[in-house]
Structure formats: structure tokens, C-alpha cells
Amino acid sequence: MPTVVYTDGSCLGNPGPGGWAWAVSGGPYASGAEPHTTNQRMEVTAVLQALQSIAGPLEVVSDSAYVVSCFEQRWWIGWQRRGWRNSAGKPVANRDLWESLIALALDPARQVSFRKVKGHSGEPMNEFVDQLATQAAAAQQGVTGGQG
């Protein structure tokens, strides 16, 4: 049975100060901040941090179409085939993060799946990680805890 982890990213201005967060219901959670970033970088960073922090099979729940679509629609295959260029022929944004995340998410020794959730729809864990990411962006400081 995979661990379900919720992830979110936040940016106050885009670009601007950003924050990321991940949390497991009733379990661990963490957040962090970057002084000058984008919302999409923070969304990808949240998932990357979760995969680096939690062992075993995972179900990643995110309100980011950018993150979930990459895996559900297998965007990475085209990116790699085109030499890390998107369908418009431009360099893939956030390649540094995507390369690390794709390697972890596609590790054959570990099952990782993705599920999209509608943002700001009252889903308690999505609201929790949204709050953590927004607080991290505002304070420019993350937190680590044990009860998501």
C-alpha cells in the first residue's frame, strides 16, 4: 500500500519569494523556502523533497497540473527525445529539478503514482500543504513536523 503524500508550492509574486510543502495525513510533514523563484519551481520542488524524504511506494497528490500532467501524459519522453526542449522547441523550464524528479519517480525499484486534486476545494490535506507552503514563502523559513 503506497503512502499518500500531499504536495504544494507557493510564490508571492511570480517570480518572487517562494515556499514548498509536503505532508502525510497523520504523519510527517515539511516545508522550505527560496528567496527568488517561481510557482512552478516550488510545485516541482515540493514533490522532489517528498520523494527524497519518504521511502517506499508513494501516491503523490498535487493541485499542480504542471506536475501531474508531466507524469500522466509522459511529457518527459518528448523532452528527452528532443534534447530537453519542449514541443515549441524551447528549453524545458526547470530542467534541473525535472531531471532529479523524473529519475526518482521512475525508479523501477519503487512505485510512484500521481493524482490531481482541485486546489482550494476544501480537501483538508491539500489546504494544509497550501498553508505550509504559503507560510514558508512569507517567512522565508520552513518547518518540519510529525502530525499532518
pLDDT tens, 114-142?
Answer: 999 998 888 899 999 999 999 999 999 99
10-38 mean pLDDT: 96
Q: Which of 19, 32, 63, 142 is catalytic?
A: 63
pTM of the model: 0.95
75-87 mean pLDDT: 95
40-55 mean pLDDT: 97
What does the pLDDT read at residue 119?
85
What does the pLDDT read at residue 146?
81
What does the pLDDT read at residue 86?
93
Task: Please tell me the distance from the alpha carbon of residue 2 to that of residue 19, in angstroms, as a whole number.
Answer: 26
Judge contact between 144 and 29, C-beta under 8 A: yes
- Provide the b/e sequence for 61-81 (b: ≥16 CB within 10 Å): bbbbeebbebbeeebbeebee
Q: What percent of the chain has pLDDT over 70?
A: 99
Judge contact between 41 and 18, C-beta under 8 A: yes
Q: Residue 10 in 3-state DSSP?
A: strand
120 a catalytic residue: yes
Q: Which of 19, 32, 130, 142 is catalytic?
A: 130
8 a catalytic residue: yes
Q: Which CATH number fits domain 3-145: 3.40.640.10, 3.40.50.170, 3.40.1370.10, 3.30.420.10?
A: 3.30.420.10
How is the chain split into domains, by residue range?
3-145
